[in-house]
Amino acid sequence: MTFDYAPAPESRAIVDIPASHGLFVDGRFRPAADEAVFKTVSPASEEVLSEVANAGAEDVDAAVRSARKAYESWSALPGSERAKYLFRIARLVQERARELAVLESLDNGKPIRESRDADLPLVAAHFFYYAGWADKLEHAGFGPAPRPLGVAGGVIPWNFPLLMLAWKVAPALATGNTMVLKPAETTPLTALAFARICQQAGLPPGVLNILTGDGATGAALVAHPGIDKVAFTGSTEVGKAIARTVAGTHKRLTLELGGKAAHIVFEDAALDQAVEGIVQGIFFNQGHVCCAGSRLLVQESVADEVLAALKARMSTLRVGDPLDKNTDVGAINSAEQLARIRELTEAGEAEGAERWAPECELPSTGYWFRPTLFTGVTQAHRIAREEIFGPVLSVLTFRTPQEAVEKANNTPYGLSAGIWTEKGSRSLWMANRLRAGVIWSNTFNKFDATSPFGGYQESGYGREGGRHGLGVYLDV
Amino acid sequence: MSEPLPVLKTYKLFVGGAFPRSESGRVYEVTDAKGQWLANAPLASRKDARDAVVAARKAFPRWSGATAYNRGQVLYRVAEMVQGRREQFRAEVAAGDGLSKSKAAAVVDAAIDRLVWYAGWSDKVAQVAGGANPVAGPYFNLSTPEPTGVVAVLAPGGSSLLGLVSVLAPVLTTGNVAVVVASERAPLPALSLAEALATSDVPGGVVNVLSGTTAELARPLAAHQDVNAIDLTGAEGELATELEVLAAENLKRVRRPDPAEDFASAPGTDRLLGFLETKTVWHPTGV
């Protein structure tokens, strides 16, 4: 007998999406100077959700000027007063968490279970955490009189739209900087909803400006001479371009870029838990995660067992409507991203790796990709080297811990890694040798406002979260 | 009877623990502030720079894997060796930086003190820069600093020993390995420091010292794919910008030059923290 899941949709009635959105500059919404707009669609249905202003160079200039003006008073406020604004924002985010979660799932395509249980709680936590730092900066270990840098420019990706906003805005404002933030082109809506929260919180005009737009908007912001700090999360390619742009200027830079995390399973691991961890590691958020465990390194002696269990578990994943509370894997964020995933998986097959995906029905509209794994992958294959940023797992094997370390570190990236073993000393030995900024041992994809996040090598520099996340916004 | 004829030193590069000449066979004339010839120094080439990177990379696992206590002991030993060669360094600094005897003596003493200061940091920086993170869940969560890797260090041009020690010691004490481009105008103290390093239990390759034209050596180092970070202190103006652009290709950590940096004043912790990566390890707690 098979049990079927009845549909369990989260109501979208809780969110009222305006038909058009302006830019949030100087505390008010206004159209782009040249009145340019673009449409944002739901990747699950291809339905147009709203029309959004497309900021040009003139708008960037206006936003930076507004932020500069606001900086004078914002940086002069006692830290305890800045803290209260951020606490207000944290509370308002909690109050409107359900609405924001639904909006995020609509615009991004991620399952409501994740936007509700991961994204939104973390967003609120980040504002609470950094609010508390605002009046304690002289005790944070950055010298007795740390100063803000000035106007920060933030450019964020589409995979965790509101969470990435929180990672930038909370520490920037807590330390007394003002900010111009550009959300990703395909996911502007929660940032604009957040702008309304700032209005409700009474945040002084100009302290945070939000410019929707495309890559050109981001490039103009990063290059603007009125910016003192750039914080970027996105692809390594764009990160390098930004590093070249700010070369020779006074601008400080933090980059949180791509990854190709090794997820290492030893023969003595609790295999059922490890399989859950592997699934969580690569299929969470459709694999649109820079720290996704996209390279499974499994010890040869248990490879067959792990693979069988993994396939069985993948067969139970529910792919579909992001607003259905039973959905495990939602929609791919855009047609462009879907094309990239297809291109790389086709390269995987062409290079000789063996592809497997469970049978599952996909919706007829929208952008979808089955949870997929590749076996017979070598380190030379593109699917083992390049970031796919989708629900695609490459499986490799190893015999000795030393070999696992060498394979894991054989990448220009270095964002995260996972280790599954029941032996504590081996776990710590591995953790010492893996060149990555976040190591999850017997767990994966865990995030917290107090925990620094960021990479080694070409995964970027600087840390977000925790005490470390303050330093990158301070002149010390 | 007259003084015996002095045996002059042939100044050489320091790469992988050995003292080779430049593979290019080139040298350049080093003069004092008045233009008086002091010695010929190797005019290192791009190939020498690449060899130095290979030597540094090879030395990284051992040095970064040494205990912090051990690295502190070794750096303290460097201070002892410089102390023992105090007279030689005084003469080289006086000639190279154009200082009076007494000022040069003070600079050498300050360089020794700086080495001792940074030696003591080796087993303290992790407690200052790392720590436990109180995450909202049943997890052990710890952040620790780790060395970035191979660091190209462009030593300051105007402070040939104190400046050099001030930029090199923080890189070493935190477990990084270095390829140093000595002051172009006054490279002799750096080449002599290499002799102190070689007799201080600093493993071969941990520090590599090149003399020559800063621009010629800095470009291949800034563009090198196996260099993890670059300290641009000794680069000026447009060269610094050009190097920063080259460094973006593999996202090297870049320390920009600060013309106002005063090596005579007490350093803060920023040079210590500049070439560290934060690693955060999670593990569930439970029974």
* Domains in chain A with CATH codes: 12-257+456-475 (3.40.605.10), 262-441 (3.40.309.10)
User: pTM higher than 0.95 for the full model?
Assistant: yes
Strand partners, A241: none
Q: How far is A464 from chain B (nearest CA, A)?
A: 11
Active site residue A256: yes
Q: Give mean pLDDT, residues B20-31.
A: 98
Backbone angles phi, psi at A376, to 5 degrees: 65, 30
Task: Kindly indicate the confidence band of residue A1, based on its pLDDT and cuts at 50, 70 and 90.
Answer: low
pLDDT exceeds cutoff 90 at A346: yes
pLDDT exceeds cutoff 70 at A4: yes
CA atoms within 13 A on the CB side of B76: 11
CB A289 within 8 A of CB A445: yes
Name the average pLDDT for chain B: 97
Q: Which of A10, A185, A256, A387 is catalytic?
A: A256
pLDDT exceeds cutoff 70 at B51: yes
Reduced to 3 states (helix: H, G, I; strand: E, B; else coil), residue B110 is helix
Determine the Cα–Cα distance for residues B100 and B91; give it in Å rounded to an integer: 10
| Sheet strand arrangement including A262-265 | A354-356, A372-375, A392-398, A295-299, A262-265, A416-420, A438-441, B276-284, B139-147, B131-132
CB A165 within 8 A of CB A173: no
pLDDT of residue A154: 98
- Residue B282: which of A441, A461, A463 has the nearest Cβ? A441
The fold for domain B27-284 equals Aldehyde Dehydrogenase; Chain A, domain 1 (3.40.605)
Task: Kindly indicate the confidence band of residue A472, based on its pLDDT and cuts at 50, 70 and 90.
Answer: very high
CB A158 within 8 A of CB A187: yes
Determine the Cα–Cα distance for residues A333 and A256; give it in Å rounded to an integer: 19
Q: How many Å separate Cα B152 from the centre of its chain?
A: 8
Count of C-beta atoms within a 10 Å radius of residue A382 = 17
pLDDT exceeds cutoff 90 at A60: yes
Report how far apart the first and last C-alpha atoms of chain B are (Å, whole number). 86
**pLDDT of A174-207, one tens digit each?**
999 999 999 999 999 999 999 999 999 999 999 9
Q: Which amino acid is at A1?
A: M
pLDDT exceeds cutoff 70 at A266: yes
CB A211 within 8 A of CB A44: no
Q: Give mean pLDDT, residues A107-121.
A: 98
pLDDT of residue B33: 86
Q: Give mean pLDDT, residues A233-240.
A: 98
CB A236 within 8 A of CB A257: yes
Task: Kindly indicate the confidence band of residue A5, based on its pLDDT and cuts at 50, 70 and 90.
Answer: confident
Reduced to 3 states (helix: H, G, I; strand: E, B; else coil), residue A295 is strand
Length of chain B: 287
Tell me, yes or no, if B25 comes closer than 8 A to chain A by beta carbon: no
Task: Kindly indicate the confidence band of residue B2, based on its pLDDT and cuts at 50, 70 and 90.
Answer: confident
Q: Does the ipTM surpass 0.90?
A: yes
Structural domain spans, chain B: 27-284
| Sheet strand arrangement including B150-154 | B207-210, B177-181, B150-154, B229-231, B253-255
Q: Is the C-alpha dihedral spanning B230, A151, A123, A327 positive or negative?
A: negative
In chain B, which residues have their Cβ closer than 8 Å to the Cβ of A247?
241, 244-245, 247-248
pLDDT of residue A158: 98
| Sheet strand arrangement including A252-256 | A28-30, A23-25, A208-210, A178-182, A151-155, A229-233, A252-256, A460-461
Residue with tokens 């500059």: A25
CB-based burial of residue B111 (10 Å sphere; 0-12 exposed, 13-18 middle, 19+ buried)?
buried
pLDDT exceeds cutoff 70 at B1: no
Interface test with B, best of A94, A409, A468, A472 (most B CBs within 10 A): A468
pLDDT exceeds cutoff 70 at A400: yes
Task: Kindly indicate the confidence band of residue B212, based on its pLDDT and cuts at 50, 70 and 90.
Answer: very high
Cβ contact A248–B250 (<8 Å)? no
**pLDDT of B148-176, one tens digit each?**
999 999 999 999 999 999 999 999 999 99
Interface test with A, best of B57, B245, B251 (most A CBs within 10 A): B251
